[in-house]
Amino acid sequence: MRFMMLLKLDPTRVPQTGPDEKLMREVGELIEEMTKAGVLLDTAGLRPLDEAVRIRQVGGRQTVLDGPFAEAKEMIGGYCLLQTKDRDEAVQWASRFLALHGDEWEIEAEVRRTEGAEL
């Protein structure tokens, strides 16, 4: 089964200096471990939200809005695309990912199965 793990955070509730060197190294090690276990299909961290652009369509009309955005309560900081035997296994990897972050991080992983893709 294929699962998308979305990492969500509130930018006001994480270290403003971003991840430190130790966290970066440990995330790198975990990513290597996931790759070697054959479960990681793809992963990336996303650039800050204030560089983002949003294209919104309402009633057939589109508006384009450049960041930074006023109401950034929750943003996606990155993702992992996993292939695991079942949901519990995907949850376990997500839990390991979160556990690398210290108490100064308020962070959430959302694990969702992809539509259709069985392999």
Partner 1 sequence: MADEEKQPKAPGGATHDPDEQARRAVEAVWRIEAPRLVAGLAGLVHDLGLAEELAQDALVAALTQWPAEGVPRNPGAWLMTTAKRRAIDQIRRNERLARNLQQLGREQEIEQRLRSAPTEPAAPGEIQDDLLRLVFTACHPVLSREARVALTLRLLGGLGTEEIARAFLVAEPTVAQRIVRAKRTLAEKQVPFEVPQGAALGERLASVLEVVYLVFNEGYAATAGEDWMRPRLCEDALRLARVLQGLLPNEPEVHGLAALLELHASRAGARTDAAGDPVLLLEQDRSRWDRLLVLRGFAALARSEEQARARGLASGPYALQAAIAACHARAAGADATDWAAIARLYGALAAQTGSPVVELNRAVAVGMAEGPEAGLALVDALAATAPALGDYHLLPSVRGDLLARLGREDEARAEFARAVSLTRNRAEQALLRQRAGMQEPSQGPTMEG
What residue ranges bind partner 1 (CB under 8 A)? 1, 29, 32-33, 35-39, 41-42, 54, 69, 71, 73-74, 81, 83, 85-86, 88-89, 91-93, 95, 99, 108, 116-119
**Residue among 19 and 39 whose Cβ is closer to partner 1:** 39
**Residue among 38 and 59 whose Cβ is closer to partner 1:** 38
**Residue among 24 and 37 whose Cβ is closer to partner 1:** 37
Q: How far apart are CA 117 and CA 113, in angstroms?
A: 9
Task: Cite the beta strand spans of the chain per DSSP E.
Answer: 2-9, 40-45, 53-58, 61-66, 75-83, 107-113
In the complex, minimum distance from the CB of residue 116 to partner 1, in angstroms, rounded to a whole number: 6
Q: How many residues does the chain have?
A: 119
List the structure tokens of 2.
Answer: 């294929």
